[in-house]
Amino acid sequence: MEITPPSLEYARLMPLIVVFAGACLGVLVEAVTPRSARWPVQVGLTFLTLLVAGALTVSGWSAGDVGISALGSVAVDLPTYFVWTALLVLGALSLLLFTERRLNGGVSAFAPQAAAVPGSVDEELAIRARTEHSEVYPLALFSLFGMMLFAAAGDLLVMFVALEILSLPLYLVCALARRRRLLSQEAGLKYFLLGALASAFFLYGVAMLYGYAGSFDLAALDAAISAGQQSTWLLLVGMAGVSIGLLFKVAAVPFHSWTPDVYTGAPTAVTAFMASCTKIAAVAALLRVFYVGLGGLRWDWQPLMALLAVLTMAVGALLAITQTDVKRMLAYSSITHAGFMLTAVTGASLSSGARDLSSVGATLFYLVAYGAASVGAFAVVTLIRDRNGEASSLDDWAGLGRRHPWLAGAFSVFMLSFAGIPLTSGFIAKVSVFESAWSGGYAWLVVVGVVLSLLAAYFYLRVIVTLFFAEPRPRAAAVTADAGTAGPDVGPSSGAEPAGGATAEAAEPGTGALSLATRRDDAAASAEETSVTSTASRPELGAGEVGVGRAGVATYAAVAVAVALTVVFGLVPGPLLELALQASVFLR
Amino acid sequence: MNIPWLTVLGLLPLAGALLLVALPRTAARAAGLAVSLLALVLGGWVVAQHLAGAPLAEQVPWIPQIGAYWALGPTDGLSLTMVALTLVLTPVVLLASWRDEDRRGGASEGVRDAAAVRQREQVLVGAGGPERPETVGAGAGGGATATAPEQPRRWSARAFFALVLALEGFALLAFLTTDVLLFFLLFDAILLPMYFLIGAFGGPNRRRAASRFLIFALGGGLIMLASVIGLYVVSARAGEPSFLVADLAALGIDGEVGRWLFVGFFIAFAVKAPMVPVHTWLPDAAEESTPAGAVLLVGILDKLGTFGMIRFCLGLFPEASLWATPVVLVLALVSILYGALAAIGSKDLMRLVAFTSISHFGFIVLGIFAWTSQSMSGSILYMLNHGLSTAALFLVVGYLVKRRGSRSIEAFGGVQKVAPVTAGLLLFAGLSTLALPGLSSFVSEFLVLAGTFSRYPAVAAVATLGIVLAALYILIMYQRTMTGPVTDDVRDHVRSDLDGRERLTLAPLVVLIVVLGFFPAPVLDAVAPVVGATLEQAGVTDPAPSVEQEAN
């Protein structure tokens, strides 16, 4: 028997290969570089990888180098190029947040030693030694590689592998928060268990579909459905299993329950990464499976998808209203937006002409608009802090707009975009998805979506009201509680500060807050950290005081880019919409 | 060179708003006023171009994928009337709030204990006087300043001026645009500056009023969004998608689809106008906002509702509009009577003016949906006149309230003996509101009623009751606040008549009201083509004057 080696289209697959190679190199760097050099080397390597991969993607895209590659398992087509570019750009933006160290007094937002039990001596030793997990960079790259492959997979088995590649590193980095480590570990574990369950469903569905079609290939599946000679229940069970796996990643109701806990518990930079990139990859894969593989079953899944869209929008919006924590509210908002995107998926409208909207194009535009605003919003969340770290309770944000008008203004832009208010990209995105849903014959879904948009607008606008109009509430209870535990550790510079005394100083540009002691979980370490990071020249945030932490350039750059994307795509959406619409036909 | 003058006109105030943010605090007010006056001059030039027979128009593809255009003009009588109103009211409003916004928002927190106020003032005169020369000079602002520390901090005058300019820019573009999506975008975008104008500068319950305003307006807007999306689908199915009013009107959307889409648009405009039963946000918003904010809200923003009815409801869905006419006429009548009765029963001056507006919007809608050229021309003229007379009324009431420190009607009495000019101007603005012959509102109200009568005599007869009630609410209000013996509170607080700046703000309004009252022909001539085209598109002709024949 003669074995012919498979021919791979290396040039076309190069962006994938570069990201994967970058991640592998990152692992190598961990092994050979001295500890002190690891962080900068990793950062450099990661962004170099993203840059090269981005350049290759764009050059391949502009050259129109499309085709089914790698023996039918990877479909490099226009939607893939669009998604890859979006993933690389938004991934780079989120990774900028990973690099932030100034905000935490010179250390990253990730646990010093993940293996150490929270509050243990080991952990304290790790903090004193200032160890850091620079492994987060290769992990993020692996995850990004998984996402790129997931969105491009033309074969259900490769899709499953990609799903695992993107998920496993995420489970890990979710559990790596420096503050509130128990919450973070809980988030990681929850994500892992539920994700594993969803993966199992996905795999089961893949097996059923294989049984039906006799192939993992999406095009073969489509052909088998057209021929329609097999038992339908295999197909339906298979479709159900695969959909559950995909909808879990998309965070659609009723597979959404992990989202709030994971988004809240994970380090905020990771949350930004998940909210933007995971969502893009998952929705893109969903589109590919349903439009390419299961397109023949349209009439069967459309009503179900419409129902899911309504449920997702409604549950997300209703529960978001009741939230008092900004991060958690953003998690529910992410669910709501999954619902808005599902309306377009339901419509399944194809573009009849070159200048026409299609479901795929509208969804792709929505993903970019939502992703950019999400990264920006979470970046702002990392900046608003009290002495213990991020202060994400909505009450803590009251009146910040007066003291920090620019930052609050940026956050308002993101909220307006989420709410779909004109002059932001969110408006155009919402109009496009609703238009494609209506074009597909789902006018009632659009009406429901519009009503639920109003509900959603309510809680986004509430945040703006809190930022600009609410009076800051004194956090008396919190102050005394913290003073008892943290007082002796933090030293005289902050202990004597009367609550409210730092307001005037915090309002001065450039002298805003800083040097934030650690959370109670690792309060033992705070003395050491504070002594390292706080100097007499920096005014300390008073106990219970909320202000804007002094961050490095990277975080501000992420916020600025996100604002720019949101506003520009809101005012001049034409070019991006054009690209998205051109990219609306999948290769089979 | 081909300069897009309409775009320049619309973007000038928006650029001005941005400029103000960058300017130092002290220069901001002057710069803001200068920008608004420059826009007024430019607007005058645009109107002159139109009258000279060369209407301006611009059209650039904006989002070609969904058929949206940056389309402004061609200008017509309707859009230019509204543009002129916006351009005139903005500098007036800026000048009227020249001094207030740093410390307080004009309308204050209702009747207060006179003794407490006096006590506070003594403290002020003793301790705080020298540091605040501008309030001491006025002599009356003292009581107001004393309350400032108790209330949440307000924003700066610079922010106020920037927001007003932003609102002006959005309004100008919204009145000029002939693209449905662009109009919707501006229709929603204009809510943001208005929201902040109420929420940051108004009275004690302003935040609640602002939220209520925003929720109502956004709700209406989203219902309209569904219809806008429906329009896209209809036009995409007919060929190329396009949001241009001309293209959409050519499609002749009728039948069930047309009716559903019409309902979406109409609800949004009815909320904005506002008509009973979706009017409940207006009294609160007007009561809690500053007088200047109320002028912008009722004078300009709400006009988008009636403007939209003519341009979009009648223009795009003539068949559905005819279908809905009976219901709309009933709603208009209810608005006229309810607004008037509620105004009579109002105990609060700002609220009273807000309710009179609801009544007047009823007249405007009545004229629009009576389907005669007389009544529709009257409605468009009414939109202009109502803007002018309500602005005058709000401003005079605002000056009074600022002096007295209370909005309650009961807190006044005998003011005309203390401040005769204020009282006179209040009477003038009030008479203009109740459509006294010789003042501008009379012409428009008469045209609306006469036009309505020729088609729906019974409706016109009921609507005429509104005029009687208007006389009641204005004159009773005047009697209670201005005439009679001077009360102690008034003597204590109303210590000065209108100063030069305040008179200057009212002068252009008074002049325009009188001039348009005697000489409305230019405006009527300008709007005649729009009215004719709208009626023709709906296939409606004016009913022949049959009354005399029957009488013979």
3-state SS assignment for residue B60: strand
- To the nearest 10 degrees (0 to 180), the angle between helices B373-404 and B420-433 is 160
Angstroms from B257 CA to nearest CA on chain A: 11
In a domain, A484, yes or no: no
d(Cα A264, Cα A188) in Å, to the nearest integer?
11
With contact defined as beta carbons under 8 Å apart, do B430 and B477 qualify? yes
The stretch B285-301 carries a mean pLDDT of 89
Omega of the bond leading into B74 within 30 degrees of 0 (cis): yes
Measured between beta carbons, the chain B residues lying within 8 angstroms of A427 are: 185, 188
Angstroms from A420 CA to nearest CA on chain B: 10
Sign of CA dihedral B58, B62, B65, B66: negative
* Cross-chain Cβ contact B200/A468 below 8 Å: yes
Predicted local confidence at residue A52, as pLDDT: 96
Beta-sheet pairing, B58-63 with A547-548: unpaired
With contact defined as beta carbons under 8 Å apart, do A277 and A371 qualify? yes
Angstroms from B343 CA to nearest CA on chain A: 31
Residue type, B314: L
Angstroms from B63 CA to nearest CA on chain A: 5
Conformation bin of residue B139: beta by default, left when phi > 0, alpha when psi is -120 to 50: left
Facing A450 at nearest CB: one of B61, B181, B223: B223
Q: Which of A321, A343, A423, A445 to mutate to test the interface with B (most CBs of B within 10 A)?
A: A423
What is the residue-wise DSSP string for A309-329? HHHHHHHHHHHHHT--BHHHH
Predicted local confidence at residue A1, as pLDDT: 67
d(Cα A249, Cα B25) in Å, to the nearest integer?
50
With contact defined as beta carbons under 8 Å apart, do A427 and B185 qualify? yes
- Supply φ then ψ for residue B130, to 5 degrees: -60, -30
Facing A461 at nearest CB: one of B62, B214, B223: B214
Omega of the bond leading into A79 within 30 degrees of 0 (cis): no
Predicted local confidence at residue B127, as pLDDT: 40
* Total-model pTM: 0.86
Tell me the H-state helices in B405-456. 415-418, 420-433, 440-455
Count of Cβ atoms closer than 10 Å to residue B108 Cβ: 20
Is the CB of residue A400 less than 8 Å away from at least one CB of chain B?
no
In a domain, B433, yes or no: yes
With contact defined as beta carbons under 8 Å apart, do A253 and A339 qualify? yes
- Provide the residue range defining the domain that includes B524: 340-540
Give the CA distances from residue A470 to residues A97, A526, B114, in Å, rounded to whole numbers and listed in that order: 29, 32, 30
With contact defined as beta carbons under 8 Å apart, do B298 and B282 qualify? yes
In a domain, B6, yes or no: no
Checking if the pLDDT of B325 tops 90, the result is yes
d(Cα A374, Cα B219) in Å, to the nearest integer?
24
In a domain, A507, yes or no: no
The ipTM value here is: 0.82
Measured between beta carbons, the chain A residues lying within 8 angstroms of B226 are: 434, 446-447, 450
In a domain, B488, yes or no: yes
The stretch B219-229 carries a mean pLDDT of 90
In a domain, B139, yes or no: no
Residue type, B354: A
d(Cα A147, Cα A155) in Å, to the nearest integer?
15
d(Cα B307, Cα B365) in Å, to the nearest integer?
10
3-class DSSP string for B234-254: HHHHCCCCCCEHHHHHHHCCC
Is the CB of residue A432 less than 8 Å away from at least one CB of chain B?
yes
- Provide the residue range defining the domain that includes A286: 10-471+551-582
Measured between beta carbons, the chain B residues lying within 8 angstroms of A361 are: 65
With contact defined as beta carbons under 8 Å apart, do A48 and A25 qualify? no
d(Cα A430, Cα A362) in Å, to the nearest integer?
9
Paired residues of A69 in beta bridges: A74
Stronger pLDDT, A353 or B33, i.e. the higher one:
B33
* Spacing of C-alpha A582 from chain mean position: 25
DSSP structure class, residue A153: B
Checking if the pLDDT of B196 tops 60, the result is yes
Predicted local confidence at residue A511, as pLDDT: 34
Measured between beta carbons, the chain A residues lying within 8 angstroms of B189 are: 421-423
Predicted local confidence at residue A522, as pLDDT: 41
The number of distinct structural domains making up chain A is 1
The stretch B252-268 carries a mean pLDDT of 89
In a domain, A354, yes or no: yes
Q: Which of B20, B21, B65, B207 to mutate to test the interface with A (most CBs of A within 10 A)?
A: B65
Measured between beta carbons, the chain A residues lying within 8 angstroms of B236 are: 352, 356-357, 439
d(Cα B145, Cα B24) in Å, to the nearest integer?
24
With contact defined as beta carbons under 8 Å apart, do A365 and A432 qualify? yes
The number of distinct structural domains making up chain B is 1
d(Cα B42, Cα B34) in Å, to the nearest integer?
12
* Cross-chain Cβ contact B185/A353 below 8 Å: no
Measured between beta carbons, the chain A residues lying within 8 angstroms of B229 are: 431, 434-435, 438, 446
3-state SS assignment for residue A1: coil
Is the CB of residue A438 less than 8 Å away from at least one CB of chain B?
yes
The number of C-beta contacts closer than 8 angstroms across A and B is: 95
Count of Cβ atoms closer than 10 Å to residue B414 Cβ: 17
- Supply φ then ψ for residue B62, to 5 degrees: -110, -60
In a domain, A53, yes or no: yes
Conformation bin of residue B252: beta by default, left when phi > 0, alpha when psi is -120 to 50: left
Angstroms from A435 CA to nearest CA on chain B: 5
Q: What is the mean pLDDT of chain B?
A: 83
Which has the minimum average pLDDT: A285-289, B201-205, B340-344, B353-357? Answer: B201-205
d(Cα A220, Cα A372) in Å, to the nearest integer?
36
In a domain, B389, yes or no: yes
Measured between beta carbons, the chain A residues lying within 8 angstroms of B66 are: 357, 431-432, 435, 577
Is the CB of residue A150 less than 8 Å away from at least one CB of chain B?
no
Q: Which two tokens stand for residue A288?
A: 């590919």
d(Cα A297, Cα A124) in Å, to the nearest integer?
57
In a domain, B241, yes or no: no
Measured between beta carbons, the chain B residues lying within 8 angstroms of A584 are: none
Measured between beta carbons, the chain B residues lying within 8 angstroms of A422 are: 184-186, 188-189
Checking if the pLDDT of B348 tops 80, the result is yes
Q: Which helix (H) or strand (E) holds A547?
A: strand A547-548
Predicted local confidence at residue A488, as pLDDT: 36
* Cross-chain Cβ contact A469/B232 below 8 Å: no
Q: pLDDT digits over B154-177, tens only?
A: 567 888 889 999 999 999 999 999
* Cross-chain Cβ contact B152/A469 below 8 Å: yes
What is the residue-wise DSSP string for A10-53? HHHHHHHHHHHHHHHHHHHHHHHS-HHHHHHHHHHHHHHHHHHH
Give the CA distances from residue A60 to residues A68, A77, A210, A354, in Å, rounded to whole numbers and listed in that order: 14, 10, 32, 22
d(Cα B166, Cα A17) in Å, to the nearest integer?
50
With contact defined as beta carbons under 8 Å apart, do A102 and A552 qualify? yes
Predicted local confidence at residue A232, as pLDDT: 86
Q: Taking a contact as any Cβ pair under 8 Å apart, which residues of chain A between 553 and 582 contact chain B?
A: 573-574, 577-578, 581
In a domain, A375, yes or no: yes
Q: Which helix (H) or strand (E) holds B359?
A: helix B349-368
Measured between beta carbons, the chain B residues lying within 8 angstroms of A409 are: none
* Cross-chain Cβ contact A454/B186 below 8 Å: no
Q: pLDDT digits over B427-479, tens only?
A: 999 999 888 888 888 999 999 999 999 999 999 999 999 999 999 999 999 98
Angstroms from A318 CA to nearest CA on chain B: 16
- To the nearest 10 degrees (0 to 180), the angle between helices B373-404 and B440-455 is 140
In chain B, the residue whose alpha carbon lies closest to the alpha carbon of A361 is B65
For A255, counting Cβ atoms within 10 Å of its Cβ (0-12 exposed, 13-18 middle, 19+ buried), the class is buried
Of A350, A357, A169, the residue nearest A273 (C-alpha) = A169
Measured between beta carbons, the chain A residues lying within 8 angstroms of B188 are: 421-422, 427
Rg (CA), chain B: 23
* Cross-chain Cβ contact B233/A453 below 8 Å: no
d(Cα B211, Cα B198) in Å, to the nearest integer?
9
Residue type, A207: A
Angstroms from B222 CA to nearest CA on chain A: 6
Low-confidence residues in chain A, pLDDT < 70: 1, 351-355, 473-544
In a domain, B409, yes or no: yes
Sign of CA dihedral B173, B178, B182, B186: positive
